[in-house]
Chains A and B, each alone.
Chain A
């Protein structure tokens, strides 16, 4: 089994708040993350692919092609943005790192080239201490 993992970074702000709960319940649930003005993180995303190494190139995938896809579909949109207000899906969905990982996988899956190896997983570091991992088999 060969699996290649590439790390990418973006910095963004967000606020955890759900319209389904009262102001007090939101404060109680999300704590500091419910701060009305928002706050930000240096996110780190690990994208893993798995499959057969190509005989000619000795590679699983062209890293520059993978970079183009991830930059184009994820990093460019998210970097130096406010997730709640700049990324349409987070108008209705709370931009927790769980939901962010699902959105990253959704964006990549939609545009995943047919000749790429399988997307094996998305791992999102919100901080050095909080890490969220989505395996490919998991349903949203």
Chain B
């Protein structure tokens, strides 16, 4: 069974690769390369997979999931400038693809029990989102 929790955070970023020139970054990322940055209301959907516990009837304690998401993602990223304040985005371009993968890396160690992390879906806007998952044994 899959269970999904959704949280939101607002953050600013610049999409520019320091290895490229300003012109190349502009060609690659368009307005997202504006040097002073811009922001989004990100929405994150985290999906866990597992069987309901025979005693509790739950795949995972949603209160604990809420705390994990707050500690690993919302706390560190909400109302932050990702490139300056959130590792590893001082050296990794904070595209939606890379932020989704980073969120997976932060969340994954928290789910070593019966429920496994199945998918991270990150909406940059209502019209653009990235799904990220890694095969786990």
Chain A positions near chain B (C-beta within 8 angstroms): 1-8, 53, 56-60, 62-64
What are 22 A-to-B residue pairs whose CB atoms are below 8 Å?
A1-B133, A1-B135, A2-B100, A2-B101, A3-B130, A4-B128, A4-B130, A4-B131, A5-B128, A5-B131, A7-B127, A53-B101, A56-B17, A56-B19, A57-B28, A57-B93, A58-B93, A58-B94, A58-B95, A59-B97, A60-B130, A64-B30
Give the distance in Å from the alpha carbon of A7 to the alpha carbon of B125 in the complex.
Answer: 10
Give the residues in chain A near B94, CB-CB below 8 Å.
Answer: 58
List the 9 closest pairs (A to B, CB-CB), nearest first: A58-B93, A7-B127, A58-B95, A3-B131, A58-B98, A53-B97, A4-B130, A59-B95, A1-B133
Contact A56 B133 (CB under 8 A): no
Give the distance in Å from the alpha carbon of A139 to the alpha carbon of B71 in the complex.
Answer: 45
Give the residues in chain A near B126, CB-CB below 8 Å.
Answer: 7
Q: How far is the CB of A59 from the nearest CB of chain B, in Å? A: 5
Contact A60 B30 (CB under 8 A): no
Contact B134 A1 (CB under 8 A): yes
Judge if B96 is at the interface, Cβ distance under 8 Å. Answer: yes
Judge if B20 is at the interface, Cβ distance under 8 Å. Answer: yes
Give the distance in Å from the alpha carbon of A1 to the alpha carbon of B95 in the complex.
Answer: 16
Contact residues of B between 3 and 20, Cβ < 8 Å to A: 15, 17, 19-20
Count residues of B near A (Cβ-Cβ below 8 Å): 26
Q: How far is the CB of A20 from the nearest CB of chain B, in Å? A: 38
Given A57-B93, A58-B92: A4 and B129 within 8 A (CB)? Answer: yes
Question: Max chain A CB contacts within 10 Å: which of B100, B129, B133?
Answer: B129
The closest CB in chain B to the CB of A60 belongs to B97
Contact A2 B97 (CB under 8 A): yes
Give the residues in chain B near A4, CB-CB below 8 Å.
Answer: 96-97, 128-131
Q: How far is the CB of B26 from the nearest CB of chain A, in Å? A: 12
Give the residues in chain A near B93, CB-CB below 8 Å.
Answer: 57-58
Q: How far is the CB of A138 from the nearest CB of chain B, in Å? A: 19
Give the residues in chain B near A5, CB-CB below 8 Å.
Answer: 128-131
Give the residues in chain B near A56, CB-CB below 8 Å.
Answer: 17, 19-20
Contact residues of B between 93 and 137, Cβ < 8 Å to A: 93-98, 100-101, 126-135
